[in-house]
């Protein structure tokens, strides 16, 4: 059991580095460009190695392969639902997608070429979605379908509260008013519901329960 807990902490920490990339930029610890070039690639490779090495272990939510692979896919699916929910508001003028090209500029360390800025920005956004899925499953020690669903909802809302406690809105020039709070909190709720559905459906079934 201690070994499994240590492995959970390692997987959680490696996934968290996707967020650490941005948080360090906020607080002037490092730049996203430096972190994205030298820290995220080896961390991602290590997660992939852990998933590969554990692929033949007993299937289920006690398996690192499940945390990483199913967690990452679930996080990306949830991020897609999150964006689709926000899209009508963006088309109506809400600046909810304006952070993505800024992510790209910070990662690239330049403003051009525009296509690469956009590609890196959106890739980083979905990296964060995948990271949230991995981190969530790595935390759930004694899962059941209800815990996976409602735990994912609580996890998504917790992350949003923590994000609002950072300089996120000021850094990206977002107006922190009632409309923004409604949109961002409701979007994270959609993320959590989608992630919870995914984890309950694909990361926990009687056939996949760990011994």
4-42 as b/e: b if 16+ CB within 10 A: eeeebeebbebbbbbbbbbbbbeeeebebbebbeebbee
Q: What share of the chain is helix, strand, coil (3-state, %, to 5)?
A: 75, 0, 25
Low-confidence ranges of the chain (pLDDT < 50): 206-211
- Token pair 């669903």 in the structure block, residue: 149
**The pLDDT of residue 211:** 33
Report which of 10, 14, 11, 15 is spatially closest to residue 129, judged by C-alpha positions. Answer: 15
- Within its chain, how far is the Cα of 24 from the centroid? 16
**The pLDDT of residue 3:** 57
Domain count, the chain: 1
| Domain containing residue 66 | 2-208
**The pLDDT of residue 142:** 86
How is 99-137 classified by DSSP, letter by letter?
A: HHHHHHHHHHTSS--HHHHHHHHHHHHHHHHHHHHHHHH
pTM exceeds 0.75 for this model: yes
Answer whether 81's CB lies under 8 Å from 10's CB. Answer: no
pLDDT of 76-108, one tens digit each?
999 999 999 999 999 999 999 999 999 999 999
Mapped onto helix, strand or coil, the DSSP state of residue 183 is helix
Contacts of 19 (CB under 8 A, 6+ apart): 128, 131
Cβ neighbourhood burial of 114 (10 Å; 0-12, 13-18, 19+): exposed
């Amino acid at each position: 059991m201690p070994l499994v807990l240590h492995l959970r902490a390692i997987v959680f920490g490696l996934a968290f580095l996707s967020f650490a990339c941005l948080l360090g930029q906020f607080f002037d610890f490092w730049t996203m460009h430096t972190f994205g070039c030298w820290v995220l690639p080896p961390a991602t490779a290590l997660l992939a190695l852990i998933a590969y090495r554990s692929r033949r272990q007993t299937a289920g939510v006690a398996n690192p392969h499940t945390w990483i692979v199913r967690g990452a896919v679930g996080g990306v699916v949830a991020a897609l639902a999150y964006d689709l929910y926000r899209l009508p508001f963006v088309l109506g003028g809400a600046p909810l997608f304006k952070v993505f090209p800024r992510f790209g500029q910070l990662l690239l360390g330049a403003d051009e070429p525009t296509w690469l800025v956009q590609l890196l920005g959106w890739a980083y956004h979905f990296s964060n979605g995948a990271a949230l899925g991995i981190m969530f499953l790595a935390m759930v020690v004694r899962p059941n379908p209800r815990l996976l669903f409602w735990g994912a909802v609580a996890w998504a809302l917790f992350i949003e509260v923590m994000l609002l406690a950072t300089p996120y809105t000021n850094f990206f020039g977002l107006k922190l008013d009632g409309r923004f709070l409604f949109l961002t909190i409701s979007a994270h709720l959609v993320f959590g519901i989608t992630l919870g559905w995914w984890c309950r459906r694909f990361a926990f079934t009687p056939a996949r329960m760990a011994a």
